Structure 1
Amino acid sequence: MYSSPSYETHYDAQPYSFDWAVKEAGYYNDNLDYSHSESSDGKVTTGTYRVVLPDGRTQIVTYRADSYGYVADVKYEGEAKYSEYKTASYATPSYSAPRANVYSAPV
């Protein structure tokens, strides 16, 4: 008898490296400043990414992942800025009944 075919393929981890960044002013949170860089030798992966948070601070995460697990160091740059809190004011809804169509019969 023939053995059933196996479709599982195992590939050894390969070294790689990448990075990207977006930086542009004038958006809803004042600016876009995002980036990510990562590299791996096939056994250990290290990287850093940064994100502008809605409160204006920049979060910077530096990480390392290997056979022992994932370890991240998180830092923040800048000070949080919040808009002034305003209580919501609701208008009292008004309702008026729809006007009835008046039909006049031809004379």
Structure 2
Amino acid sequence: MLKVGVLLGVVGVCLASPTYNTASQDNNPTSPAVYNYRYSASASREGTQFGHAEPASSSGEYHVLLPDGRTQVVTYTVEGDAGYVAKVTYEGVKDHRHTRA
């Protein structure tokens, strides 16, 4: 009786699983995805500050407060076969008194 119950359970799960028709799905979309992604975080007590922004235009930017007091900003784009190309800049003045041991 237990074997029959297990068999019926397995058959029920198989019949209930979703099916996907891949033939009707568009694997080559003609328009890019539409989104705008952004976040930032700051914890002044710990000295942490960072964030990220990325619109749907194959580019974006993120930043992080470094231990020496400067902010590192990375701006990136996607350039065809070259892939992601990053430009790194620093804001502020290096101050080693901020460096944690």
Instruction: Tell me the residue number matched to 1:35.
Output: 51
Instruction: Tell me the residue number matched to 2:76.
Output: 63
User: 1:14 Cα deviation (Å)?
Assistant: 2.4
RMSD across aligned positions (CA): 2.6
User: 1:34 Cα deviation (Å)?
Assistant: 0.6
The structure having more radius of gyration, on CA atoms, is 1
Instruction: Tell me the residue number matched to 1:73.
Output: 87
Question: Aligned partners of 1:20, 1:66: CA distance in 2, in Å?
Answer: 24
Matched residue of 1:15: which SS?
A: coil
User: 1:58 Cα deviation (Å)?
Assistant: 0.4
Q: Which runs of 4+ in 1 moved over 6 A?
A: none
Q: How many matched pairs?
A: 72
Unaligned runs of 5+ in 2: 1-21
Per the normalisation by structure 1, the TM-score is 0.54
Of Structure 1 and Structure 2, the greater helix share is in 2
Question: Aligned partners of 2:28, 2:64: CA distance in 1, in Å?
Answer: 33
Instruction: Tell me the residue number matched to 2:35.
Output: 16
Letter in 1 for 2:95: K
Per the normalisation by structure 2, the TM-score is 0.57
Deviation sequence 1:59-82 (CA, Å, 0-9, x none): 011111142422211110112222
Letter in 2 for 1:59: Q
Unaligned runs of 5+ in 1: 1-6, 84-107
Letter in 2 for 1:74: V
